[in-house]
């Protein structure tokens, strides 16, 4: 399958080529033809599936004919980072056209945005709050909007944007095409979608397509030993770019500063930072100035960094959905990755929820040579039901390259696998051929196909 089959304008195909997209992703295959027909779409897909281009290419195609100047496509996104990323996709894919895109979000001055709007932009990518400001100031005219996209609708709802969205919707032309994307469909979101979509086509991509390349492991630990265990892991495990999640902004800041004091190349990303600080952190992480980014869920939303080798949940996320989102940040673009979660005894019910969602039991591990004191990781509750219902996930692939064959710096074994249900004689992983598992002796040559083995520097 290739992009030529969509009958896109040649200038847009040139943008696709320049972006280096060889063939459409599954969501693009499903969504592009129906969006080009003008149908409303309900897209169940998350970041990392290629959904931005799935709606952007047909939008650009539509805008190549008709008037230049007025805002004809409005895309609403929950965070500045996501808005900026969507805007950059529009610029990159549309660079051979005359179509202009503008990103509008808070945390930066309104004046330059108003000036750019006066000069004209056919695509506006906006966060709800700042968009309403411009609507109230009458610095934006949305009367000619032909296409509306609501991206990451569930996250907008979580962040309390629903009333703002409704206010915005009230002022848009009723005659329009609406594309609605959400990774999950709680009742509130379903209600919103039902209210604004007309006879939509549903396109659904299995949750976290990257899961095939992600291995998952739990490290039970008492709360008081979490920081120590994390440090021991960072020393023992061969890691490249690491994304660490904490529950609160405060914990993200403290953990980052702790790691910084110990000589790690680390930065934090949390909601209290000014926009330019956030951008510096993201750019620095992407460029490789930092090996570790410590973030909260909301702050990390929409960051697109391709070669994250490890996602470490320093704190267990609140829900299985959030876990899936976080772990989907690694194992992108066919690279393999590991999701490591430090679990405390009170996380048990969430562990169970995640295992149900994944349809497999997550491997519990003990970190070798770590002093757990009186705590016995092996005695932590094993929550997996006896006959699991499979979720959308491939249990075999979930456990691929579970890391105990990892090429760590010292070549020593860094984890003891004591989960007999999944153990195989040589490596404790399951199902995969030995070539993708490493071999438990530090030879992980096939384990992670990243261009270079970058290890944490101290
Ligand atoms: P998204 O889900 O829109 O956040 O996209 C995730 C990543 O996939 C982005 O870095 C895109 O540039 C990239 N991408 C999107 N479509 C394709 C494609 N057809 N081929 C290769 N990469 C793609």
Residue 325: the pLDDT is: 79
**If pLDDT is split at 50, 70 and 90, which confidence band does 359 have?**
confident
Residue 58 has a pLDDT of 98
Q: Are residues 66 and 98 in the same domain?
A: yes
Cβ(61)–Cβ(132) below 8 Å: no
Does residue 108 share a domain with residue 52? yes
pLDDT at 408: 32
Write down the pLDDT at residue 206.
59
Residue 68: pLDDT above 50? yes
Statement to judge: residues 358 and 279 lie in one domain: yes
Residue 388's Cβ-count burial label (10 Å; 0-12, 13-18, 19+) is middle
| pLDDT (tens digit per residue) in 412-436 | 223 333 222 222 222 222 222 222 2
> Of 205, 240, 267, which residue constitutes the final position of a domain?
205
435 or 300, higher pLDDT? 300
CA–centroid distance, residue 85 to ligand 1 (Å): 11
For residue 416, the model assigns a pLDDT of 31
**How far apart (Å, rounded) are the C-alpha atoms in residues 399 and 432?**
8
Mark whether 177 and 241 lie in a shared domain. no
Q: Check pLDDT > 70 for residue 173.
A: yes
pLDDT at 171: 96
pLDDT score recorded for residue 302: 63
Residues 272 and 368 in one domain: yes
The reply to whether 188 and 246 lie within a common domain is: no
Candidate from 53, 75, 82, 87 with most ligand 1 atoms within 8 A of CB, to mutate: 53
Range of the domain at 167: 3-205
Q: Looking at the structure, tell me whether residues 301 and 401 fall in a common domain.
A: yes
DSSP string, 79-117: SHHHHHHHHHHHHHHTTTSS--EEEE-SSS-SHHHHHHH
Please report how many Cα atoms fall inside a 13 Å half-sphere around the Cα of residue 220, on the Cβ side. Answer: 24
Ligand 1 neighbourhood includes 15 CB (under 6 angstroms): no
CA–CA separation, 253 and 167 (whole Å): 35
Domain C-terminal end among 162, 181, 205? 205
Q: Which residues contact 150 (CB under 8 A, 6 or more apart)?
A: 76, 156, 165, 178, 179, 180, 181, 182
CATH number at residue 95: 3.40.50.300
Query: Rounded distance, CA 224 to CA 247, Å?
Result: 15
Do residue 192 and residue 231 come from a single domain? no
* CB of 53 shorter than 6 A to ligand 1: yes
Indicate whether 321 and 192 sit together in one domain. Answer: no
The verdict on 269 and 397 lying in the same domain is yes
pLDDT at 378: 79
351, 321: one domain? yes
pLDDT at position 362 is 86
- The verdict on the CB of residue 48 being under 6 Å from ligand 1 is yes
Total domains in the chain come to 2
Domain boundary among 205, 225, 260: 205
| Pocket probe mutation, ligand 1, options 50, 86, 306, max atoms within 8 Å of Cβ | 50
Q: What is the mean pLDDT of residues 389-412?
A: 29
Is there a single domain that holds both residue 197 and residue 263?
A: no
41 lines ligand 1 (CB under 6 A): no
Report the separation in Å between the CA atom of 215 and the middle of ligand 1, taken as the mean of its atom positions. Answer: 22
Range with lowest mean pLDDT among 210-214, 219-223, 414-418: 414-418
pLDDT tens-digit map of 41-53: 999 887 777 899 9
Residue 272 has a pLDDT of: 78
């Amino acid at each position: 399958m290739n992009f030529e089959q969509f009958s896109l304008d040649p200038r847009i195909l040139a943008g696709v080529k320049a972006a280096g997209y060889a063939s459409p992703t599954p969501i693009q295959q499903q969504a592009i033809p129906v969006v080009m027909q003008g149908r409303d779409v309900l897209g169940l897909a998350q970041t990392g599936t290629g959904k931005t281009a799935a709606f952007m290419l047909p939008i650009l195609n539509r805008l190549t004919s008709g008037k230049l100047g007025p805002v004809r496509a409005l895309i609403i996104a929950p965070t500045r980072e996501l808005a900026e990323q969507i805007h950059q996709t529009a610029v990159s894919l549309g660079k051979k056209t005359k179509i202009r895109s503008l990103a509008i979000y808070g945390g930066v001055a309104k004046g330059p945005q108003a000036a750019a709007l006066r000069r004209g932009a056919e695509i506006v990518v906006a966060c709800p709050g700042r968009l309403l400001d411009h609507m109230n100031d009458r610095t934006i005219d949305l009367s000619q909007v032909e296409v509306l996209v609501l991206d990451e609708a569930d996250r907008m709802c979580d962040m309390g944007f629903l009333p703002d969205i409704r206010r915005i919707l009230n002022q848009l032309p009723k005659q329009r095409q609406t594309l609605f994307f959400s990774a999950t469909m709680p009742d509130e979101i379903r209600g919103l979608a039902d209210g604004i979509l007309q006879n939509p086509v549903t396109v659904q991509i299995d949750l976290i397509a990257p899961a095939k390349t992600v291995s998952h492991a739990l490290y039970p630990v008492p709360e008081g030993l979490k920081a120590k265990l994390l440090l021991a892991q960072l020393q023992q495990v061969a890691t490249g770019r690491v994304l660490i999640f904490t529950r609160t902004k405060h914990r993200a800041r403290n953990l980052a500063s702790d790691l910084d004091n110990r000589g790690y190349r680390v930065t934090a990303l949390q909601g209290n930072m000014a926009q330019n600080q956030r951008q510096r952190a993201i750019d620095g992480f992407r460029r490789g100035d930092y090996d570790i980014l410590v973030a909260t869920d909301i702050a990390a939303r929409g960051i697109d960094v391709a070669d994250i080798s490890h996602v470490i949940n320093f704190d267990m996320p609140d829900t299985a959905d959030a876990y899936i989102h976080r772990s989907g940040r690694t194992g992108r673009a066919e690279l393999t990755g590991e999701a490591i979660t430090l679990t405390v005894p009170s996380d048990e019910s969430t562990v169970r929820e995640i295992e149900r969602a994944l349809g497999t039991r997550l491997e519990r591990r003990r970190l070798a040579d770590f002093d757990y004191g009186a705590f016995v990781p092996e005695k932590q509750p094993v929550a997996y039901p006896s006959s699991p219902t499979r979720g959308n996930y491939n249990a075999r692939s979930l456990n691929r390259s579970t890391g105990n064959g990892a090429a760590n710096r010292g070549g020593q074994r860094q984890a003891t696998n004591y989960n007999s249900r999944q153990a195989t004689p040589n490596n404790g992983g399951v199902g995969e051929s030995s070539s993708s598992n490493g071999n438990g002796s530090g030879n992980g040559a096939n384990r992670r196909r990243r261009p270079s083995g970058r290890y944490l520097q101290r």
